[in-house]
Amino acid sequence: MKLLLKIRYIGTDYCGYQVQPNAVSVQQRLNEAALSLFGYECDIVGCSRTDSGVHANMFCATVSRKGATSLETSVPCEKLPLALSAHLPWDISVYGAEWVSDDFHARYDVVEKEYVYRIWNSPSRNPFEENRSFHAPKRIDAEGLLQMQRAADYLVGTQDFSSYMAQGSSVASTVRTVKRVTVEQSGEVLTLRFCADGFLYNMVRILAGTLLDVGLGKKTPEDIPRITAARDRAMAGMTMPACGLYLDRVLYRDEDKKK
């Protein structure tokens, strides 16, 4: 059996999830914690390669013993989150653990992912939002929010999203199924929520930049289907900074955990 972990982390001080030379990654910290706790090297496989500075409210990763299929530990499953967290720095914590079959794959078995993009929408900066959201000083009014939601609705469906993909990534297909995109306002925080079966490289950050353009009146909701159809990155909005992006939810099928 492998261990499937639920992890939360602040991405600010990491080069992203994945191990990289000459930079500190979340995966490296997980490797070190697992070695400390279990006493042997582990293979840690994450659900996604989140970029440098991107946060996670829910990141999933499997842990197995290096060179073996299974993991052995005398620590009861319900105690593992606290036991692992004790070996992790303050900005990473494990809050869930369950046993899954050796055939389960943290990345390929994902059926649905949800990302959140947070925007602090106020003329003044907010210390509590530093590195936790993007600061858009110009206020978006109720009409702007409605336009953003109308634009968001055009993104739902199975479509070619290559207009919203950053250069330098090679994927077999640029078609993804977006299930929901919502725009919520709570005080001066705008929360854009994107749910899909998967995302292209930088897709959420480019979608967020495009929706922000609509909120600021630089684009109309009706521009969205045109941008999508063009399959031209240059037509979409800017790639928003990593500090506002959160992986918020990862969904697996129960049968995949037991296969």
Applying CB under 8 A, which residues contact a copy of itself?
8-10, 55, 57, 81-82, 85, 90-95, 122-128, 130, 132
To a copy of itself, the closest distance from the beta carbon of 237 in angstroms equals 25
Q: Give, as one character, the DSSP assignment of residue 172.
A: S
Is-catalytic flag, 256? Answer: no
Complex with a copy of itself: residue 8 or 205, whichever CB lies closer: 8
Pick the catalytic residue: 13, 43, 51, 254? Answer: 51
In whole angstroms, the minimum distance from the beta carbon of 82 to a copy of itself comes to: 7
Taking the least distance from each CB to a copy of itself, the nearer of 132 and 150 is 132
| Cβ-based nearer residue to a copy of itself, 81 or 221 | 81
Return the structure tokens found at 112.
């649905």
Q: Kindly report the three-state secondary structure assignment for every residue of 57-84.
A: EEEEEEEEECCCCCCCCCCCHHHHHHHH
Cβ proximity to a copy of itself, 176 vs 193, nearer residue:
193
CB-based burial label for 63 (10 Å; 0-12, 13-18, 19+): buried
For the stretch 105-131, what's the b/e string if a residue is b when 16 or more beta carbons lie within 10 angstroms of its beta carbon?
ebeebbebbbbbbbbbbbeeeeeebee
Minimum distance between the CB of residue 63 and a copy of itself, rounded to whole angstroms?
A: 16
Let me know: does 183 contact 145? Beta carbons within 8 Å: yes
The distance of closest approach from Cβ of residue 220 to a copy of itself in the complex, given in angstroms and rounded to an integer, is 30
Q: Is 190 helix (H, G, I), strand (E, B) or coil?
A: strand
Residues with catalytic roles: 51
